[in-house]
Amino acid sequence: MATINLSEKNLIIIITALAQLIQQLIANMTVVALPNMLIDLNLTADSIIWVNLIYLAVFVAFALPFTNLISQIGVKKSISFSIIILLISIIITVFSINDYMLFLSRFIQGISTAALSISLYIMLVEGLSDEDLGVGLGIVSASGYLGMLIAPSFMGFIILFSNWRSAFLLLIPILITLLIALQIIKKEWIIEKGNDINYVGSLLYIAIMFLFTLGLTTLDEYGIMPLIISIVLLIIFVKYEISHPNPIYDFKLLKNIKYLIGNYAAMVTYFTTTIAITALTFHLRYVLDYEEYFIGLILMISPIIMIGLSGLSGKLSNKIDPRTISGIAMMFICISMVFFFFLDFITLEMIYLACVLQGIGNGLFSAPNNKYVLTLVDEKDLPDASSFLSSSKEFGKILSYSIYALILSIFIDKQPLTLKYLNPLIIKSTEIMMFINILIALSATILLFYSKYKYEKGGNEKIIALMESLKPNWFKKRGF
């Protein structure tokens, strides 16, 4: 890793933290604006869900194919290009006059932020020393979670005084400032990953992600066919990539169980956090009938605690095994999901406590887990590891949104959307979704501690042998 002077080190952290904040704001702040967008742009009830899903689907679809391109053109140059394209997409959003322009802008935002997110992690790992990496990742991770958690409040506050277009306009001067600040950094990072771009593999992967997302969101109607096609294409894709001299992703990395568990845990945090915010917002607004400004104050509890702990967790990761910190953090997240499961029975004070627990879990988890995953691979594999980590997080959002939308559609059926039906609908949907959150958070907790337990010297051979015996034969034959 390169060693650079103090001012450039701080500048790298500031740039990556702000860029990560902006990326999460763009990804999540449209949730609150959807009712306004529906009226302003004459969106239909069927198309409005795609305002967010098209962004997430594009982000995940293009993240892996971009790794080779970023490796060749350079990390700093890639960030600059991404910001410029993002600026163009925001201008299209602001001047959208129909759903086609809005969807186009969200499509471009997904592409640009996919490249941006991958490049940011590579610049952090390459630009900071081992001693500074934990703290840097802690700050950047805090910025990402902060953007995700405050996005609804940010958009709601802007709509209160202006309109949803103004929220996007406010991001433009920040992005221009980032673009100027980036030119101060003299260092460029080019990682040789391959000479040619794998177009066939890239197109296959993009098609798989779009079909999978479409299938999940329309499973109650005709989504089974896109899902089946995506699975067939996935098998073709894996076989093609394994035999290709320059794959878009090195599948050998997946043989590292520690690497897999770290990415799975990252996906779980975004899965649980994203839908917990949505479910809590619905419950506070439509079941408990609180005003938007009060809901915004409650939603700020988690990010405030998270910010305070993220820097500390980054420093702790230099002294304590990151898997231990991440496992403890996941326990807090799991417990908070238990509280959210009983939203209809607990007091407002208990809801505060649930938000506190969630904030502690998110604050402790991200930096150690990011550092652990990204430092498990060699430098040449860093673009792959960075893109897969970013994709895992955004894929967690896609899964949570899609499953929640499916649950809502099943319960809504043909019932009228009146308060008589809305309250029980939200309560029952939240209970089911939080139960799913509890299960996957618990699984991630167990896997994180198992990862540490197995790969520590002098581990319990009986437990390790038991876990190995549970592996499918397909994994064993391929050396997993």
Mind listing the pLDDT tens digit for each residue in 164-197? 899 999 999 999 999 999 888 888 877 665 556 6
> In sequence order, what DSSP letters do the residues of 428-443 get, joined into one string?
HHHHHHHHHHHHHHHH
Give the pLDDT confidence score for residue 336 in this predicted structure: 94
Pairwise CA distance, residues 146 & 402, whole Å: 23
Contact 342, 335 (CB under 8 A): no
**Which amino acid is it at 243?**
S
Pairwise CA distance, residues 357 & 190, whole Å: 41
Mind listing the pLDDT tens digit for each residue in 309-326? 877 887 787 788 888 888
Pairwise CA distance, residues 382 & 386, whole Å: 6
**Residue 388, token pair as written in the block:** 């897969």
Contact 29, 212 (CB under 8 A): no
Q: Give the end-to-end CA distance of the chain in Å, rounded to a whole number.
A: 29
Pairwise CA distance, residues 417 & 466, whole Å: 51
- The residue ranges of the chain whose pLDDT is under 50 are 1-4, 6, 414, 416-418, 457-460, 463-464, 467, 475, 480
Contact 51, 28 (CB under 8 A): no
Tell me how crowded residue 413 is: count the other CB atoms within 10 A of its CB. 9
What predicted TM-score, i.e. pTM, was given to this entire model?
0.75
Residue 164 vs residues 36, 96, 185, 286, 297: alpha-carbon distances, Å: 7, 11, 34, 22, 20
Looking at beta carbons, which pairs linking 426-429 to residues 24 or more positions away fall under 8 Å?
Answer: 426/279, 426/282, 426/283, 426/286, 426/287, 427/283, 427/287, 427/343, 427/344, 429/279, 429/404
Give the pLDDT confidence score for residue 416 in this predicted structure: 46
Question: Shortest CA distance to 56 belongs to which of 113, 111, 119, 110?
Answer: 110
3-state SS string over 329-385?
A: HHHHHHHHHHHHHCCCCCCHHHHHHHHHHHHHHHHHHHHHHHHHHHCCCCHHHHHHH
Pairwise CA distance, residues 154 & 185, whole Å: 30
**Residue 273, token pair as written in the block:** 């956090």
Contact 121, 79 (CB under 8 A): no
Tell me how crowded residue 245 is: count the other CB atoms within 10 A of its CB. 8
Pairwise CA distance, residues 136 & 14, whole Å: 9
Pairwise CA distance, residues 404 & 275, whole Å: 8
Question: Shortest CA distance to 386 belongs to which of 69, 121, 100?
Answer: 121
Give the pLDDT confidence score for residue 193 in this predicted structure: 54
